[in-house]
Amino acid sequence: MTTANQKKPIKSAVVATYAAATILLIAGWFIPAFGYGQDIAVGDMMLIWYIPAIINAMFARTVIPESALGGRELPAFITEPEGFNAPALLLIVYLIMTVLAIIFLIPVLAGKKTKRTSIVNAYIIEGITLAVFALLYLFSAWNAGLYTTVTGYLNITVIGAAVLVLLCAQCIIEKGSYGVVKTFLFLFSYLAFMFAMFAVDEWFDIILSAMGAEYAVSNMLHTLSVQGGLFNAMGGLEALKAFADGTAVVSGEYTTELNIINVCVIVLFVTLALNTAIDFIGLMTGSKCDKDGYPLPHASGKIIGIVRYSIPLVTAIIMLVCLVIDPAKVGICIYFAIFFISLGLELDIIRLALVPSQKRRAEEMREAARRAAEAEDDVQLNMLDEDPEQFYAPAGDAPENMPIAENLPDMVIPQPEPIQTGEQLEISDIPDEEGEEPEAQPYVYTPRPLIYNGPTDKFIDTLATEEKIEFCKAFIDKTKGDLPTDMPEYELGGNNEQFFLAIFLNLGKFRQLLSAKLLRKIYRYLNDK
């Protein structure tokens, strides 16, 4: 199996992820769940029926005649009271993203070199669509509340959640462990925003009621004397809306504390929304390696992350202190918000602490690559230059992959046949000049083909037969020569990156121990990983 074949599953997974996201975007228009809970007939609950009405709402005038609407007008929960209808605009953007996803899918499926194309297309389509969904929910929740929004846009709720899962999966497939970190950072920021801005505990009641455990959460909170929401059973978005309407978020006897709380609500909304947006973009951009495959252990990004997580954490703690001073009960959601902000902060602190070791690793990889490049320039690849007594053949006539003599135990070499050019002559027919011996004809000895029945894995499969024997003698049987004392063991099928690095960190020794062809293949394998 070649290195290219090793990357084939990753390429296929990325293409499949993009195709699945496209199918989901299309499905969002046909799932009969739009306007759920709004007294709409099931047959009218497909979003695609409302495209003409959405266009008219976006322009706030009749662009498409009412006769084309089929009697279907937009549900009240997505219509803004006055002026420009932002939710309608966002739904049109969703329609455009769906059409573009279908168009981009054609070259992705038809092209041969599709990995980079599919990644870029998927990130653009999925990223913009999910950002549109997020803005749509904020606009709608501002006017109609979160429950009405989620149930009314139930089709988009389901599709948005599925596309988000695909986006996280694609990030992990493409970036490995780095993608896992990015995914967790986004989830922590998203959950912190949700708990801070909405009375999420109400959703536990809704879910548990559907399971036959009605008011289980409310009863538990009552027992603990803890109110839901951010504070006083009010979500941060409702508090922000009250502030925008010109009224105080909260008011009462403790004026100083309440003024601080009013400011903290604004700071929390801005910083948590900003963190969620930054971490969402982080899913789609960035890489832990440069174009040559070397790690990029920059400390600046981690320091910025620590700062941007610290600000909302300190803000939430100040708010919590003020709420404790105020005789009002503290909402449970603020504790969850602090918890998820702390997780993101802790993760970036750990990442910052690992930067020095990552820099050392990057330098080791560059040094190994430099030595391997020197070896490729200096070492001759012709086997005859390494041991000219192994074979006898005219220059230029030796087989390309001629085996090494020491790899041919008990080989029986057939009797040579004379090689002649031109007309076939018997040896006895060649005239002798007076006093001269007939000129000897060159011979080529062709050994039997080698057969390798030893251990194998992805790397060993990339080697020629004689190279497999040479590699296994050197590093598995350890009969070819002494290895450095700090040389890692080669693990069949395992992660042997440190093993290969050690070869080039001890290149002077291995130049004498291994053939140039094998060294070159080890270098290329390491460089392609």
Q: Tell me: the pLDDT tens digits for 302-352?
A: 899 899 999 999 998 988 888 777 656 677 788 888 999 999 999 999 988
At 331 the three-state DSSP class reads: strand
User: The tokens of 207 are what?
Assistant: 């879910």
At 227 the three-state DSSP class reads: strand
Least confident of 112-126, 302-316, 403-417: 403-417
With 70 as the cut, is the pLDDT of residue 193 above it?
Answer: yes
Nearest Cα neighbor of 145 from 238, 242, 36, 234 is 238
User: The tokens of 106 are what?
Assistant: 């054609």
Give the model's pLDDT for residue 424.
45
Give the model's pLDDT for residue 88.
87
With 80 as the cut, is the pLDDT of residue 280 above it?
Answer: yes
Q: Which residues of 224-253 are buried (b: 16+ CB within 10 A; e: fewer)?
A: eeebbbbbbbbbbbbbbbbbeeeeebbeee
Nearest Cα neighbor of 199 from 161, 239, 172, 160 is 239
User: The tokens of 69 are what?
Assistant: 């609407």
With 70 as the cut, is the pLDDT of residue 182 above it?
Answer: yes
What DSSP designation does 234 have?
B
CA dist., res. 262 & res. 311, Å (int): 16
Give the model's pLDDT for residue 223.
63
Give strand ranges (E) for 109-226.
Answer: none
Longest dimension (CA), the chain: 131
What is the average pLDDT across 189-216? Answer: 75
DSSP element (H, E) containing 88: helix 86-110
Give the model's pLDDT for residue 420.
47
Give the model's pLDDT for residue 57.
83
Q: How would residue 187 be classed by pLDDT, with cut points 50, 70 and 90? A: very high
Tokens 């662009």, residue? 63
| AA identity, residue 202 | E
Q: How would residue 146 be classed by pLDDT, with cut points 50, 70 and 90? A: confident
What is the average pLDDT across 440-466? Answer: 73
CA dist., res. 139 & res. 147, Å (int): 13
CA dist., res. 122 & res. 132, Å (int): 15
Torsion of CA 353, 355, 356, 358, to 10 degrees: 130
Give the model's pLDDT for residue 529.
62
Residues 221-252 have pLDDT tens digits of 666 566 666 655 567 777 777 777 766 555 55
Give the model's pLDDT for residue 500.
83
- Span between the terminal Cα atoms of the chain, in Å: 14
Give the model's pLDDT for residue 115.
54
Give the model's pLDDT for residue 428.
46
Residues 419-445 have pLDDT tens digits of 444 444 444 444 545 555 556 556 555
The size of the chain, in residues, is 529
| AA identity, residue 314 | V
What DSSP designation does 462 have?
G
At 34 the three-state DSSP class reads: strand
User: Do 264 and 323 touch, CB atoms closer than 8 A?
Assistant: no
CA dist., res. 324 & res. 48, Å (int): 50
Average pLDDT, the chain: 75
CA dist., res. 322 & res. 62, Å (int): 51
Give the model's pLDDT for residue 408.
42
CA dist., res. 491 & res. 471, Å (int): 13
Rounded to whole angstroms, what are the CA distances from 369 to 199, 376, 514? 55, 10, 17
Q: Which residues of 320-352 are buried (b: 16+ CB within 10 A; e: fewer)?
A: bebbeebebbbbbbbebbbebbbbbbebbeebb
* Angle formed at CA 338 by CA 334 and CA 340, multiple of 5 degrees: 115
Least confident of 50-54, 104-108, 245-249: 245-249
Q: Which residues contact 462 (CB under 8 A, 6 or more apart)?
A: 1, 2, 3, 521, 525
Nearest Cα neighbor of 125 from 93, 104, 102, 101 is 101
What stretches of 451-496 show up as alpha helix (H) in DSSP? Answer: 465-475
Torsion of CA 44, 47, 50, 51, to 10 degrees: -150
Q: Which of the residue ranges 20-34, 110-124, 368-382, 446-460 has the most confident prediction, judged by mean pLDDT?
A: 20-34
Neighbours of 39 (CB within 10 A): 6
The domain locations on the chain are 1-174, 176-352, 354-382+446-529
Give the model's pLDDT for residue 388.
41
User: Do 93 and 101 touch, CB atoms closer than 8 A?
Assistant: no
